[in-house]
């Protein structure tokens, strides 16, 4: 399957994808409704659309944490989650195209163990834990901090060949 990732400024499409139940139910903490969601659209954020063939399969949010670090939030619709590793390989190549970027980071709510386990399979390393830092359905959960350096991304991509 041909997978592509393209930048977008189309916040209506981003909002429509993120508000879909299979993404919304996994990412939202607190009591916000999909219609209240406003995608970040600022100088440090860039949304990417993920396509599987001609089908819109998901979105990725990249946010500049500082001059050498990007925070990322990838969201794939359930029917396309089987392409997640390939999507990450393509995304990693995009990250490597930014010469100044040395690290990619993310924060994963502790209730999403499946996602945490997936990140380990694509090379991320655990970097810490923050207890009671997110809320879902009125219950507090911790957050896991993960990261991968440029060298680790290159290593992971090389191991795939």
User: What are the pLDDT digits (tens) for 66-107?
Assistant: 999 999 999 999 999 999 999 999 999 999 999 999 999 999
* pLDDT at residue 137 in the model: 81
Mean pLDDT of the chain: 94
Instruction: List the chain domain ranges.
Output: 3-160
Give the torsion sign (CA, 158, 45, 20, 51).
Answer: negative
Helix (H, G, I), strand (E, B) or coil at 131: strand
> Using an 8 Å Cβ cutoff, are 33 and 19 in contact?
no
- b/e for 107-121, b at 16 or more Cβ within 10 A? ebbbbbeebbebbee
User: Strand 103-109 relative to strand 69-76: parallel, antiparallel, unpaired?
Assistant: parallel
Residue 33: what pLDDT? 85
Q: What is the pTM of this model?
A: 0.93
Give 32's pLDDT tier (boundaries 50, 70, 90): confident
| Average pLDDT of the segment spanning 11-39 | 87
User: Cβ(107)–Cβ(29) under 8 Å?
Assistant: no
Kindly report the length of the chain: 161
Model confidence band, residue 136 (pLDDT cutoffs 50, 70, 90): confident
Burial call 83-104: b when 16+ CB within 10 Å, e when fewer: bbeebbeebbebbeeeeebebb
Q: Is the pLDDT of residue 15 over 90?
A: yes
Segment 111-134, tens digit of pLDDT: 999 999 999 999 999 999 999 998
What CATH number matches the domain at 3-160, 3.40.630.30, 3.40.50.1100, 3.40.50.720, 1.10.3720.10?
Answer: 3.40.630.30
């Amino acid at each position: 399957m041909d997978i592509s990732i393209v930048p977008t400024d189309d916040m209506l499409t981003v909002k429509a994808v993120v508000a879909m139940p299979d993404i919304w139910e996994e990412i939202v903490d607190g009591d916000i409704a999909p219609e209240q969601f406003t995608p970040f659209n600022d100088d440090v954020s860039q949304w990417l659309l993920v396509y599987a063939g001609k089908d819109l399969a998901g979105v990725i949010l990249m946010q500049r944490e500082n001059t050498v670090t990007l925070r990322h939030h990838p969201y794939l619709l359930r029917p396309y989650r089987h392409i997640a590793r390939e999507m990450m390989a393509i995304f990693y190549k995009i990250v490597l195209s930014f010469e100044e970027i040395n690290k990619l980071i993310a924060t994963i709510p502790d209730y999403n163990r499946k996602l945490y386990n997936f990140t380990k399979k694509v090379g991320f390393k655990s970097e810490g834990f923050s207890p009671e830092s997110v809320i879902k359905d009125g219950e507090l959960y911790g957050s896991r901090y993960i990261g991968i350096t440029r060298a680790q991304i290159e290593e992971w991509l090389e191991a795939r060949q």
